[in-house]
Structure 1
Amino acid sequence: MASFSNYPVAQECPHTEYKHESDNNPVLRGLPLAVAATIVNNSPYLQRFFWANAKFGTIKDIASLNDVDYRFQPTVIPLPDAGVTAATAAELTASEDPAHPRQAADLAGRFHSAADYHAAYRDGSATPVQVAQALLRLIRGGPEGHATAWTACKEDGVLADARASAARWAAGEPLGLLDGVPFGAKCDTDVAGFVSTYGMRPDPARYAFFRKVADKTLWPVRKLQEAGAVLVGHMNMHEVGMDTTGCNPAIGTPVNWYNKSYYPGGSSSGAGSAVGAGVVPIAVGTDAGGSIRIPSSYNGVYGLKVTHHRTVAMNSSVCVTGPLAATVADLALAYRVMAQPNPECPVQGQFAPPHPSSAAAAAAAGGPSKKVLGICREWIAVSDPVVREHFDAAVEHLRTKAGYEVVDIKLPYLREGQLAHAATCLAEAADSARARVRPGEGHWTDLIGHANRVLLTAGQHAGALDYLKYAQMREVLMRHLAFLFAEHPGLLVVTPTTPKAGWKAVAGDEARGFNDGNRSILNMTYIWLANSSGCPSASAPMGYADPEQGEGRVPIGIMAMGRWGAEEQVLDWAGDVEAYINGGGYEGGRVKPAGWVDVLEAAKRGLGKGKGGDDGNEA
């Protein structure tokens, strides 16, 4: 059995009835939103009204929480076994590792993976420089529309890193499977030489925040770069991460290439759009309330929300940094590189090093290698019929074809816990937003758009008593999950990723944005539990729904949440779902969007030769 630090006491919570309620928050868009934002911004009374109307203050009235310990951070650390050392980047990305195979060439809906780039570089049919040139052409703002997925790109740096990779390949000394593979990082992620803009429109003349150039790259991004991966740039996001649509009037909304009349999801919208369109096989996102998993679901790709603090210790009780990828092999590869322990971090550095062996996965799952899916039926019932139909079919396949046992489980405080999570997100975001504006630069809300002014001015009214009760709610939920994981070794809690198939875009929202807290809460029905509890969770595509508007079927995701530290088990599950949608049970198999681009083919054909006359062959 694996050993842990801060593991919760396994204690079953008495059953609480799940009361799914339709929220009654005002829906605002267009000019009414702009007017309301101005009024609310200057009215503490209205701010408190929005807070109370969302029922965020009701958690403190739950009497059963009174004697529960506070848990302000869901940090549970799987500790390394004696004598175990962290694998090197070279070992984690070894090209001969069978854990990262290329997909079959004749597979319908085939996406390129790191193994495909590696094979092209190895046989000389393409070089990292040619790939970089093809990518730069795509994101320079051409007619293809891929530019909106990116907020910043330093072309000279991209080409320099690509040339360095090409030189290693020419010398026969590539660093491993990731050498020369392109990736992007969400623009709330510090990268040396970049300004982290958080999806806001930069105004460096007025705000010092936009003059703050990072002098250090965040640990998980740095580890990918040290493995040879080429960072293409910063990627777009929903402004300050405060919704799950990706609609961004400030700097533009990335395209959902499966159906342009639907949103790409958020807040890691640029990452979801670019990976779904084939522009990059891997991206780095953040997830405080589904911001990796929802855009992964909406764009038909894979996303991993890691154990709390697993890749980097963030200043948040709900947010983590993790990968999105076009294939499960790349999701696992990126995770293992990003999660290497940082010896300079007193928190993340304590985690057991990631290891791709099945033995490690079994240990993280509690010892036995059982495969168990836990389903809370009353929770699943919230989903639309088309989502439930796809979910039931995927679960049945996993039960009958992939060796999973299915058990019914009960989860307490599903409604109350979600409200506590949403309020925590708002309070933390409001605190961060206030810190971005210095005295004399204006009011802190001047930096954000209309929708976020309404949200965050309400969010700043979280009281100390509210926050204490949220911490007690977290402890109750974590104890109950520990009980379930002990009761059912190998358990994964499975749900749809979202209860509806996609989120339809509304004409005109691009101009001023919109605020629909009712749909936002509904959209996070399932994802919040992993953020509040700190457990790892992954989303995988399980099918496609006919659209209600526009052209192109809409991807639908399925999600699993495992025990703390059980990323390898969650990734194994994602691989089983991948086998299902790749033709192992899902009719029609996986499909690529109409706007999918073949970057490798463009590189091989020499399209988009870059600045300075590079021919793609120089070392």
Structure 2
Amino acid sequence: MSERRFINHPGAKEAPAVALEYRPEPDNNPRLRGLPLVAASYVVANLETAQKYIWSNAKFGQPRHAPGLNENINWRIQPNVIPVGEAEQVTLPLDSEDLITPAPATLPGRFNSVADYHALYKSGTATPLDVAKALLPLIQRGPNESKYAVAWTQSNAEEVLAAAQASTERWASGKPLGILDGVPFGVKDDTKVAGYVSTMGMKVDKKFPYFNTAETETVWPALKMIEAGAIMMGKMNQHEIGMDTTGCNPSTGTATNWFNPEYFPGGSSSGAGSALSAGIVPITIGTDSGGSMRIPPSFCGVYGLKPTFNRTMSMSSSVCSTGPMTSTVSDLIIAYRVMSQTNPSDEAQSLLAQSVPPSISASSTKYIGICKPWIDRSDPEVLKVFYSTVDYLTTTLGYTPIDISLPYLREGQLAHAAICLSEAAVDAQARHPSDWLALLNHSNRILVSGGSHTPAVDYLKYSQIRQVIMSHLAWLWEKYPGMLVLTPTTPMVGWPINPADHQYGVTDGNNSIKNMTYCWYANMAGCPAVTVPGGYVDAPKGGEHNGGRLSVGVMAMGEWGEEERLLGWAREIKKMVDEGTGREKGSEWVDVIGLVKNEH
């Protein structure tokens, strides 16, 4: 039995057998693109009956009839489980030898890391100012912008250069702030940074007051990165308001998946996935309501961590978390530890005890939970990578696989999708109350207007489903302490781009639901989850890019507060890739450090 203690724990209780029956079924959401999408958006935006049909057709009313729900199940509005610790909150080390030592130069598929930037500045070969000056032309939007700039939406060059100059002076005086001093990073456009308008991937129209109001404060995770000396290069592109999983954005441009540009980078943190896959920055900050910090890393061949609910900052959401995406696993560890420092002014976040690496003795059993009927709905190529990873974990690393069942895999996903769209509708109404759909593109006018019709009774039923899911997970962790629930990150081998999507966008609810098959569970339960590059497969499209390959991510979900266990697992999987075929990256990857060195 686990000895960990929690506040707001759901209680350990196995779900009833009827809730554990997996009942997958086809969806029949319309796929719309081009002029039919435009026409449909105007009809839906102006006709309430059409909005209600969208909600009903998506089967959002179905979860209220989920078998096993009754009046004895609590309504769990937020998954706000709080890990309780015994000791004073202290940031785990960032300068351990394994984190600050650059990877061997001969390592296949080697990405530049924080350790590489640190070594560069320490050697005096180049400065943070040199790096900033090299990066700005690659990321700034405008006439004659570089092909990498579409991953970004805004960059304040004066602020960037001033921060880089200050870092350069600290290095020159022998007083850098630490491992992150001078390291470039980016922040997703929906995340508040002082001086920037949080455009959220929307088309900027100055006639709306929203687009004329810059943020006055910087959110805690970004603030801690800046205080550590990292250089905030700018705001990053995204799927508009975070409401889909492709990253397709007809308003700001669709960020490129540099692993294979014939495929979407994933969403909603599309700019982050793109910039990381291109080597532009080693660290980004994103948000995740249903896989937005895990699907882009999976598609783009990098790393992402969705932390425990409220771990890095409290948010006005019951599903969303803010956290890091990075090029390497060591950078994921560094970024997470910096972003998750205790914020005394955040009453929710400050209560969570820091995550610490598990104490694993030689006799400890390391469990991986596998829900086979759920997993086996993945594409065959994904399954090949996934089960190869399972084989490595069991035969090489000594993990014990456990066949598990999980409740409400179908009903819970519908509930999660409805919650996301309901929250998006409330947020959209706050941005421009008089005409709240006016700021949105055609796809989101359809999706979000439908989400605005969720009845309170259904929302409470969704909350009961959340309670059952969380209680069952708690029961599993009581039975198998430290168990990691293992799945593919997404069941899909990429999402191919249709050229017609670029002008008006696309809405494809069936594929969106499929893409989130596994990611949503951690959002609904508030648990941490990490995605890692698990392997690579041949792609039907894009043979001229990277040999026509695509990245396949593998994901592990842990108990509340178990980020450090997940990060340790991610480091183990890295060995599998490194010792196997080697890590891969896109053919147009930018060696920023090499570029700066060559200029000297």
Bin for the TM-score computed over the shorter chain: over 0.9
Aligned to 2:500: 508
Q: Deviations over 1:502-535 (max 9, x none)?
A: 1000011100011100000010000000000000
Aligned to 1:45: 49
**Cα RMSD, aligned residues only:** 1.5
The alignment status of 1:598 with 2:566, answered yes or no, reads no
Query: Which of these residues, 73, 76, 82, is aligned with residue 71 of structure 1?
Result: 76
The alignment status of 1:473 with 2:465, answered yes or no, reads yes
Aligned to 1:185: 187
Query: Which of these residues, 202, 205, 210, is aligned with residue 204 of structure 2?
Result: 202
How far apart are residue 416 of structure 1 and its match? Answer: 0.3
Q: Distance in 2 between matches of 1:260 and 1:486?
A: 44
Alignment of 1:210-609 (within 5 A): 210-355=211-356, 357-359=357-359, 369-439=364-434, 443-551=435-543, 552-582=548-578, 584-585=579-580, 588-606=581-599
SS in 1 for 2:410: helix
Kept in 2, the 8 Å contact 1:101–1:329? The answer is no
How far apart are residue 101 of structure 1 and its match? Answer: 3.3
Q: Distance in 1 between matches of 2:108 and 2:267?
A: 27
Q: Distance in 2 between matches of 1:606 and 1:99?
A: 27
Q: Distance in 2 between matches of 1:519 and 1:305?
A: 22
The residue type equivalent to 1:464 in the other structure is A
Q: Distance in 1 between matches of 2:44 and 2:157?
A: 42
Q: Deviations over 1:110-166 (max 9, x none)?
A: 001100000010011121011111111211355641110000000111111111111
Q: Distance in 2 between matches of 1:370 and 1:350?
A: 30
Kept in 2, the 8 Å contact 1:92–1:337? The answer is no
Kept in 2, the 8 Å contact 1:340–1:354? The answer is no
The residue type equivalent to 2:165 in the other structure is R
Aligned to 1:617: none
Q: Distance in 1 between matches of 2:460 and 2:23?
A: 23
How far apart are residue 353 of structure 1 and its match? Answer: 2.8
The residue type equivalent to 1:489 in the other structure is P
Q: Deviations over 1:490-513 (max 9, x none)?
A: 200000011111100001110001
Kept in 1, the 8 Å contact 2:251–2:441? The answer is yes
Aligned to 2:173: 171
SS in 2 for 1:433: helix
SS in 2 for 1:545: strand
SS in 2 for 1:184: strand
Q: Distance in 2 between matches of 1:463 and 1:469?
A: 10
Kept in 1, the 8 Å contact 2:187–2:284? The answer is yes
- Classify 1:528/1:100 alpha carbon distance in 2 versus 1 (closer, same or farther; 3 Å): farther
The residue type equivalent to 1:135 in the other structure is L
SS in 1 for 2:498: coil
The residue type equivalent to 2:180 in the other structure is L
- Classify 1:21/1:293 alpha carbon distance in 2 versus 1 (closer, same or farther; 3 Å): same
SS in 2 for 1:374: strand
Q: Distance in 1 between matches of 2:99 and 2:411?
A: 40
Q: Deviations over 1:399-438 (max 9, x none)?
A: 1111211111011110001000000000000110111104
Aligned to 1:615: none
The residue type equivalent to 1:316 in the other structure is S
Q: Distance in 2 between matches of 1:169 and 1:524?
A: 44
SS in 1 for 2:264: coil
Q: Deviations over 1:366-393 (max 9, x none)?
A: x985321100000011101111011011
Q: Deviations over 1:5-56 (max 9, x none)?
A: 1111100012332111120111111000000111111111111111111110
Aligned to 1:614: none
Q: Distance in 2 between matches of 1:60 and 1:174?
A: 56
Kept in 2, the 8 Å contact 1:208–1:438? The answer is no
Q: Distance in 2 between matches of 1:379 and 1:406?
A: 15
Kept in 1, the 8 Å contact 2:355–2:562? The answer is no
Alignment of 1:22-171 (within 5 A): 22-62=26-66, 64-66=68-70, 67-81=72-86, 83-87=87-91, 92-94=93-95, 96-141=96-141, 144-171=146-173
Q: Distance in 1 between matches of 2:101 and 2:49?
A: 58
SS in 2 for 1:158: helix
Q: Deviations over 1:51-70 (max 9, x none)?
A: 11111011122352222001
Q: Deviations over 1:339-377 (max 9, x none)?
A: 00100111001111344x554xx69xxx98532110000
Q: Distance in 2 between matches of 1:368 and 1:445?
A: 58
Aligned to 2:4: 2
Q: Distance in 2 between matches of 1:461 and 1:532?
A: 20
Kept in 2, the 8 Å contact 1:24–1:54? The answer is yes
The residue type equivalent to 2:132 in the other structure is A
The residue type equivalent to 2:445 in the other structure is R
SS in 1 for 2:125: coil
Q: Distance in 1 between matches of 2:66 and 2:531?
A: 32
Kept in 1, the 8 Å contact 2:354–2:561? The answer is no
Kept in 2, the 8 Å contact 1:268–1:285? The answer is yes
Q: Distance in 2 between matches of 1:538 and 1:416?
A: 24
- Classify 1:525/1:63 alpha carbon distance in 2 versus 1 (closer, same or farther; 3 Å): closer
How far apart are residue 589 of structure 1 and its match? Answer: 1.4
How far apart are residue 601 of structure 1 and its match? Answer: 1.0
Aligned to 2:14: 12
Kept in 2, the 8 Å contact 1:339–1:354? The answer is no
Q: Could you tell me the TM-score, scaled by structure 1's length?
A: 0.93
Q: How many residues end up aligned between the 2 structures? A: 589
SS in 2 for 1:479: helix
Q: Distance in 2 between matches of 1:483 and 1:393?
A: 28
Kept in 2, the 8 Å contact 1:100–1:330? The answer is no
SS in 2 for 1:555: strand
Q: Distance in 1 between matches of 2:159 and 2:420?
A: 35
The residue type equivalent to 2:33 in the other structure is R
How far apart are residue 212 of structure 1 and its match? Answer: 1.4
Kept in 2, the 8 Å contact 1:301–1:327? The answer is yes
The residue type equivalent to 1:115 in the other structure is A
Q: Distance in 2 between matches of 1:143 and 1:214?
A: 26
How far apart are residue 97 of structure 1 and its match? Answer: 4.0
How far apart are residue 546 of structure 1 and its match? Answer: 1.0
Q: Deviations over 1:53-107 (max 9, x none)?
A: 11101112235222200110001111221x42323xxx6333x543443212110
Q: Could you tell me the TM-score, scaled by structure 2's length?
A: 0.96
Kept in 1, the 8 Å contact 2:99–2:115? The answer is no
SS in 2 for 1:447: coil
Q: Distance in 2 between matches of 1:371 and 1:253?
A: 41
The residue type equivalent to 2:275 in the other structure is A
The residue type equivalent to 1:599 in the other structure is V
Kept in 2, the 8 Å contact 1:133–1:603? The answer is no
